[in-house]
């Protein structure tokens, strides 16, 4: 056998052994991550579902104190990513539009301030709520659509991280994808 074939056979053998090892390495942290932690109880899950509902109703009621009480005091990650098709449409009007534009001025306070001053009704609708975590930390992921008046302004997937404090579950980060609704068909 030529040296090149021996080298190739060795590489293929190493790759074959590496695949199961990589799969095992990926599975091990998931199993280890729950070792020693307390599983999420039904009461924790219900409390997190209440946070989601209070978030939703605070937007509808334009309840700034109620909305802000849902967050851990201090800096909260608050970031969106514009979907590719929506980004293309937005860049048609404003070429400088960025897919993700970190801005410390965008946060839960500025969000609810905008809602409170908006004369139209505002609502965020949630679907396909998924909760994961343990008794101390949790992630919530759902499909959403955001509405002003009777008009949907954007939709996507939203994800939160929460921590359980002595005062209950508090949101520490909110990220979401943002997609504009389809353009209405024009009569041709």
Phi and psi (nearest 5°) for 154?
Answer: -165, 165
Could you tell me if 16 and 23 are in contact, meaning their C-beta atoms sit under 8 angstroms apart? no
CATH 3.40.50.10540 fits 42-178, yes or no: no
What residues form DSSP beta bridges with 124? 146
Residues 26-73 have pLDDT tens digits of: 433 344 356 678 999 999 999 999 999 999 999 999 999 999 999 999
Q: What percent of the chain has pLDDT over 70?
A: 79
pTM of the model: 0.78
Phi/psi region, residue 89 (left: phi>0; alpha: psi -120 to 50; beta: rest), is alpha
Q: What is the DSSP string of 128-168?
A: EEEEEEBSSEEEEEEEEEEEETTEEEEEEEEEEEEEEETTE
């Amino acid at each position: 056998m030529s040296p090149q074939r021996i080298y190739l056979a060795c590489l293929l053998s190493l790759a074959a052994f590496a695949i199961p090892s990589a799969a095992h390495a990926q599975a091990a942290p998931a199993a280890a991550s729950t070792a020693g932690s307390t599983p999420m109880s039904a009461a924790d899950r219900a409390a997190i579902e209440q946070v989601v509902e209070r978030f939703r109703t605070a937007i509808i009621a334009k309840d700034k104190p109620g909305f802000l009480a849902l967050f851990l005091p201090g800096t909260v990650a608050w970031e969106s990513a514009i979907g590719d098709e929506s980004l293309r449409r937005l860049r048609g009007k404003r070429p400088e539009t960025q897919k993700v534009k970190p801005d410390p001025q965008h946060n839960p306070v500025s969000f609810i301030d905008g809602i409170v001053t908006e004369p139209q009704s505002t609502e965020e609708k949630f679907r396909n709520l998924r909760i994961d975590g343990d008794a101390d930390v949790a992630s919530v992921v759902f499909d959403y659509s955001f509405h002003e008046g009777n008009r949907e302004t954007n939709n996507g997937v939203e994800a939160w991280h929460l921590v359980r404090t002595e005062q209950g579950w508090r949101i520490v980060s909110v990220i979401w994808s943002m997609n504009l609704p389809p353009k209405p068909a024009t009569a041709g």
